Amino acid sequence: NLCFKTVSRGGVFIFCCQSIYKKNVLVHNLTNVVFLIFHLFMWFVRDVTRFCTVLQSSPDVVLLHKLSDYDGNWSILPALPRLASQYCQTSLWIVFLEEETNVNLHNLLQVLSKFNTRKEWFLGRPLHDDEPTIIHHYAFSEDPSSFSYPDFMAGWALSCPLAKRSDFISPPKSDFTIDLQHEIALYIWEEGRGPALTVVNEFCSELQSLSSTGDCATTINTFLSACGNPVQKEDVFVAVKTCQRFHGDRVPLVKQTWEKDAASLEYYSDFTDPYIPTIHLGVPNTERGHCQKTFAILKRFASGVVTQAPWLLIVDDDTLISLPRLWRLLGCYDPNEAVSVGERYGYGLSRDGYSYITGGGGMVFSRVAVQNILAGGCGCHSSDAPDDMVLGMCLTTLGLPVTHSPLFHQARPQDYVKELLARQSPISFHKHWNINPVAVYQHWLKEPNQRRAHSLTKTREEL
């Protein structure tokens, strides 16, 4: 059997075809390879079906979400023991792919045939940190480039002997799931007791369209998702959380950079300043968490008094964001559904925890999602409880999805691998610490046509 698994919004599917393909180095490499693909793309289904047709077989389709009802399986580790027990009885490899990954099945099978499948293998294209970063808890701070972790977009693979042993590996030390590809590598490496990542150059990070990718088992698509027309700017209501302390420095930077793209925006503070202007919601400021303030924003939005917009964006006053890119992304979603989207983190996922959208990168909710949250009786156990985590617990309790987009970023550009950012059209970054926020916005987030307009305006002003 050759099996392909894919995850879509409607569930997870496995495509299997019986192998009769035997020649040259491919004699053994069609014995049950399992693919995990996050999100279902019809082009991939088409290619798999075509490949199986060549093998004179048709695919079987299985709903993988029946494996478990647990929503945290996106973090892989909770699902890995069960995947190994269910599929490694007849399979040799588990290959993980992302929605941006293209696969050359012939080349991939050739690559896997080079490895002794009785051994533990962790295969992928390596990434390294150039400097210690907060999203990796400053791991390997003396030499961050010494540790390799897989580029998920290029694909990565576990041999079944390693996958089977996952049930006996100690759980991650941290309760938080932040950057999964780094945390997976730490988990498997097990402080030197397990295998390090083996470099496989055929897992490629190049674009599929390049002529140099002929030997690649995988290639990638760059993306800002294009799902039709962007939403209208009037469809997104923007809520900026601030306080009097930052009225003089952070708020002016918002106004200088991205505020002008918003059709409808309000600043929520602990002090009413008519010159910004800000709105005092009657909620005292807290040093952290801001749960009570966020729920006051949700109630104000849901009331319909301020706006009838179908989408709510909540950001911090030190969030840098591209609203035009957000409008394009939201064209992929139905505002009549309970949609919550942003950069997804996890807490306690190895023991029935929950997913949440991390607040600094921006939290986007459909009006329907906001109504469900408020009607579900969710609330803050304290005014300074972490609002994003409380909302994550609430969404999990209500059975509502938390949708991840890698285009939102909780940290600064230098906290991420340059190679990953270079193939993105980022939507947001967070924090002003040790950066020039205006320069970061103009370099990473400003659309090319906006840059040209800014340049012309500046030239006219100089003249």
Residues 117 and 216 in one domain: yes
| Residues 339-352, mean pLDDT to the nearest whole number | 93
Residues 366 and 441 in one domain: yes
Res 73 pLDDT > 90: no
Spatial separation of the C-alpha atoms in residues 123 and 302, rounded to whole Å: 48
Write out the DSSP string of 253-306. HHHHTTGGG-SEEEEEESS--TTTTEEE-S----SS-BHHHHHHHHHHHHH-SS
> Residue 350 domain-assigned?
yes
Residues 203 and 272 in one domain: no
> Residue 88 domain-assigned?
yes
Residues 361 and 434 in one domain: yes
> Where does a domain end: 185, 220, 255?
220
Residues 244 and 212 in one domain: no
In this structure, which amino acid lies at residue 6?
T
Indicate the pTM of the whole model.
Answer: 0.86
**pLDDT by residue (tens digit) across 417-462?**
999 998 889 999 999 999 999 999 999 999 887 655 554 444 444 4
Spatial separation of the C-alpha atoms in residues 342 and 157, rounded to whole Å: 27
Confidence band, pLDDT 50/70/90 cuts, at residue 22:
very low
Spatial separation of the C-alpha atoms in residues 337 and 335, rounded to whole Å: 5
Residues 216 and 71 in one domain: yes
> Residue 227 domain-assigned?
no
What is the average pLDDT score of the chain? 83
**Confidence (pLDDT) at 456:** 43
**Among the listed ranges 17-26, 140-149, 210-219, which one has the minimum average pLDDT value?**
17-26
Q: What percent of the chain has pLDDT over 70?
A: 80
| Residues 322-333, mean pLDDT to the nearest whole number | 94
Question: How far is CA 204 from each of CA 32, 111, 155, 217, 231, rounded to the nearest angstrom?
Answer: 23, 12, 8, 7, 34
Residues 340 and 448 in one domain: yes
Q: Cα torsion for 159, 161, 167, 171, to the nearest 10°? A: -50
- Taking residue 26's Cβ as centre, other Cβ atoms within 10 Å add up to 15
Residues 69 and 153 in one domain: yes
- Taking residue 131's Cβ as centre, other Cβ atoms within 10 Å add up to 10
CATH code of 296's domain: 3.90.550.50
- Token pair 């892989």 is found at 76
**pLDDT by residue (tens digit) across 222-275?**
655 567 789 999 999 999 999 999 999 999 999 999 999 999 999 999 999 999
**pLDDT by residue (tens digit) across 83-105?**
888 878 877 888 887 777 788 87
| Residues 47-61, mean pLDDT to the nearest whole number | 52
> Where does a domain end: 170, 190, 220?
220
**Confidence (pLDDT) at 70:** 82
- Picking from 230, 387, 403, the residue whose alpha carbon sits closest to that of residue 323 is 230
Spatial separation of the C-alpha atoms in residues 230 and 246, rounded to whole Å: 32
Residues 190 and 238 in one domain: no
> Residue 228 domain-assigned?
no
Between the two ends of the chain, the Cα-to-Cα distance in Å is: 71
**Confidence (pLDDT) at 169:** 78
Residues 204 and 321 in one domain: no
Spatial separation of the C-alpha atoms in residues 71 and 349, rounded to whole Å: 9
> Residue 462 domain-assigned?
no
Spatial separation of the C-alpha atoms in residues 80 and 165, rounded to whole Å: 10
Residue 268 CB-half CA count within 13 A: 24
Spatial separation of the C-alpha atoms in residues 288 and 370, rounded to whole Å: 22
Query: Contact at 8 Å (CB) between 363 and 314?
Result: yes
CATH code of 6's domain: 3.90.550
Res 292 pLDDT > 80: yes
Please tell me the total count of domains within the chain: 2
| Residues 396-407, mean pLDDT to the nearest whole number | 93
Residues 59 and 154 in one domain: yes
Query: Contact at 8 Å (CB) between 339 and 242?
Result: no
Q: Which of 65-79, 179-193, 202-216, 314-328 has the highest mean pLDDT?
A: 314-328
Res 209 pLDDT > 70: no
- Picking from 409, 408, 380, 406, the residue whose alpha carbon sits closest to that of residue 393 is 380
- Coil, helix or strand at residue 447: coil
> Where does a domain end: 220, 242, 261?
220
Q: Phi and psi dihedrals of 396, rounded to 5?
A: -65, -45
**Confidence (pLDDT) at 30:** 30
**pLDDT by residue (tens digit) across 361-379?**
999 999 999 999 999 999 9
> Quick one: DSSP state of residue 115?
S
> Residue 225 domain-assigned?
no
Q: How far is CA 73 from the centre of its chain?
A: 14
Confidence band, pLDDT 50/70/90 cuts, at residue 276:
very high
- Picking from 167, 177, 137, the residue whose alpha carbon sits closest to that of residue 348 is 177
Query: How many contiguous H segments (helices) and E segments (strands) does the chain have?
Result: 13, 25
**Confidence (pLDDT) at 1:** 38
Res 200 pLDDT > 90: yes
> Residue 259 domain-assigned?
yes
Domain membership of residue 190 as a residue range: 2-220
Residues 433 and 356 in one domain: yes
> Residue 399 domain-assigned?
yes
Query: Contact at 8 Å (CB) between 12 and 6?
Result: yes
